[in-house]
Structure 1
Amino acid sequence: MAAAVGVASGADVPSKLKLYSYFRSSCSFRVRIALNLKGLEYEYVPVNLLKGEQFGAEFSKVNPINYVPALADGDFVISDSFAILMYLEEKYPQHHPLLPSDLRKRAINYQAANIVSSSIQPLQNLYVLKFIEEKVGPSEPLAWVQYHIGRGFSALEKVLADHAGKYATGDEVCLADVFLAPQIYAAVKRFNVDMSQYPILSKLHEAYSEIPAFHDAMPENQPDAPEPQA
C-alpha cells in the first residue's frame, strides 16, 4: 500500500514523485533523506524484498535489475540511488543543494559517496549474504559484512580527516552525508560494528540523528516498517 510522505511543497514542486522503497534498504534510505532535505513530496510504494516482491512482473517493469529504490517522476522512471540523487540535484538545485560549489569539496563528497556505494554497501546486499550463507555457512555473513564495513570505514576516516566539520565535509549537509548516514546506521543497528574505532563517523552519526530530514527517513519510521514488539 502506498503512502504519501515528505514535506509540503511549493507550487514549483510536482506532487507526483513516486518512490519504490523498502524500509531497511540503505539505498532507499539515501533517497528518502534527499527527498526530505529538498522538501519534495512523494508517494511511498513499498517493495518487500524478503517476500521477493522485487522479482514480480510489476516491479520488473519498473526496474529490470530488480533493485530498490526506483523513482517515478510522472511517466519517467529512474533507478539506482546515485542516479536518482543526481537527477534530483540537477532538477531541483535550489532546494537544499547537495553538492558544494567548491570543486575540491565537491570531489571529496563524490569520493566518500563512492566508497559507500561501491566498496561497502553492495557487499552487504541481501542476495550476497544469502549466497554466502548457502555456500559457506550461517555464521559467515556477519563476519563478511563486518570486515568490509571496517575496511571502508577505515578509509573514510582518513578521507574525511581534513574535511569534516559538523558534518562530513564541513558545516553543511551534503551528498557525502546522505550516503554515510544510512551506512553508519546499518553498521550500528544491524551489524554490531564497534564504532569506537571510527571517531569521525561516530560523531557524524550523532549529528545526523538530530536532523529531522534524516530522522524521518530512518527505517523504523517508514510505512512498511514492522510494528515494534511489545
Structure 2
Amino acid sequence: MSEVVFYEYWRSSAAYRVRIALNLKGVTYRSVQLDLVEGEQRNPDFLARNPQGLVPALEIDGLFLTQSLAIIDYLDARHKAPPMVPADPAARSAVLARALVIAADIHPINNLRVLNYLRSALGQDDAAVADWYRHWIHEGFAALETGAPDRGLFGGDLPDLADVCLVPQMANARRFDTPLAAFPRLVRIDAELTALPAFAAAAPDAVKP
C-alpha cells in the first residue's frame, strides 16, 4: 500500500476534522504542514495539484483529494467502521444537516482568508473581527444546541460526522473567547469527545510543529 500523505495546517479546523476521521478509521498517514499564515498553501507545486490552494488535501490510493467533508466521505466509503453517517436516508440527512451547520454555515465565513479580508480590504480592527467571528458561531451553535441530545454524542454511543465537525469548531470558539454558557449540551458533548484518544491525538496542540 502506498503512503498516505496529509497536507494540512495544524490550526486549520477543516484539517482538524480530517485528522479526527483518519484516527477514528485507523488510517496511518504522514503529515505535511503548510503554514497558512506564511502563505505556503500558495506554492506552485501545491497549486498545481489543488488549484484552490486550500488545506486540507489527502494523497491516498493514487488519488489527490480536497475539501474536508469530501475527504471524510471517501474515508467513510473505504473504511466502514465507525460509520460517519448512517445508512438510513432520513437519519443520514439529519447527520449531514447538523454537520453542515458548521462546515457550510459557520466555518466558511470565519476562516483565515475571510478574517484577513475583513482586516485588509474592509479596514476592520481586531475587536470588530472578533465580534464577527463570535456572532456567526453563536448563530450556528444556537441551532445545534436545540437539537443536541441530553446524553450521549450526536452519534449516540459512537461519534458521527456532526461530532467530528463540532470539536474543531468548539476549539475555535474558545480561541475567540466565545461565551458558551448558552450551549450546555454542546459543551458536554465536546468534553466527552475530546476525552477520546482519536480526538485527543488530533488536537492542534498535539500536532503543532
Letter in 1 for 2:193: Y
Question: 2:73 matched to 1:86?
Answer: yes
In structure 1, what is the Cα distance between the partners aligned to 2:118 and 2:201?
Answer: 33
Q: In proportion to residue count, which structure has more helix?
A: 2
Question: 2:143 matched to 1:155?
Answer: yes
Letter in 2 for 1:212: P
Alignment counterpart, residue 20 of structure 2, candidates 33, 36, 47: 33
Deviations 1:45-103 (A, max 9, x none): 1111011001110111221101100001143101000100111111111x322122444
Indicate if the aligned counterparts of 2:5 and 2:58 stay in contact, CA closer than 8 A. yes
Following superposition of structure 1 onto structure 2, how do residues 8-27 of structure 1 map, counting pairs within 5 Å? 14=1, 16-27=3-14
Indicate if the aligned counterparts of 1:20 and 1:69 stay in contact, CA closer than 8 A. yes
Indicate if the aligned counterparts of 1:63 and 1:79 stay in contact, CA closer than 8 A. yes
User: In the superposition, relative to structure 1, how do residues 169 and 73 fare at CA in structure 2: closer, same or farther (>3 Å)?
Assistant: closer
Mark the runs of 5 or more structure 2 residues left unpaired by the alignment.
none
Mark the runs of 5 or more structure 1 residues left unpaired by the alignment.
1-13
Letter in 2 for 1:20: Y
Q: Tell me what 2:171 maps to.
A: 185
Following superposition of structure 1 onto structure 2, how do residues 111-190 of structure 1 map, counting pairs within 5 Å? 111-134=97-120, 135-138=122-125, 139-160=127-148, 163=149, 165-188=151-174, 190=175
User: In the superposition, relative to structure 1, how do residues 91 and 51 fare at CA in structure 2: closer, same or farther (>3 Å)?
Assistant: same
Q: Tell me what 2:48 maps to.
A: 61
For the residue of structure 2 that corresponds to 1:71, the secondary structure is: strand
Aligned length: 207
User: In the superposition, relative to structure 1, how do residues 36 and 164 fare at CA in structure 2: closer, same or farther (>3 Å)?
Assistant: farther
Indicate if the aligned counterparts of 1:20 and 1:47 stay in contact, CA closer than 8 A. yes
User: In the superposition, relative to structure 1, how do residues 171 and 74 fare at CA in structure 2: closer, same or farther (>3 Å)?
Assistant: closer
Which 4+ runs in 1 deviate beyond 4 A? Answer: none
For the residue of structure 2 that corresponds to 1:197, the secondary structure is: coil
Question: 2:36 matched to 1:44?
Answer: no
For the residue of structure 2 that corresponds to 1:45, the secondary structure is: strand
Alignment counterpart, residue 210 of structure 1, candidates 190, 195, 209: 195
Question: 2:72 matched to 1:107?
Answer: no
Deviation at 1:170, TM superposition (A): 1.7
Q: Tell me what 1:198 maps to.
A: 183
Please provide the CA RMSD for this pair: 1.4
Q: Tell me what 1:98 maps to.
A: 84
Identity of aligned residues (%): 35
User: In the superposition, relative to structure 1, how do residues 171 and 164 fare at CA in structure 2: closer, same or farther (>3 Å)?
Assistant: farther
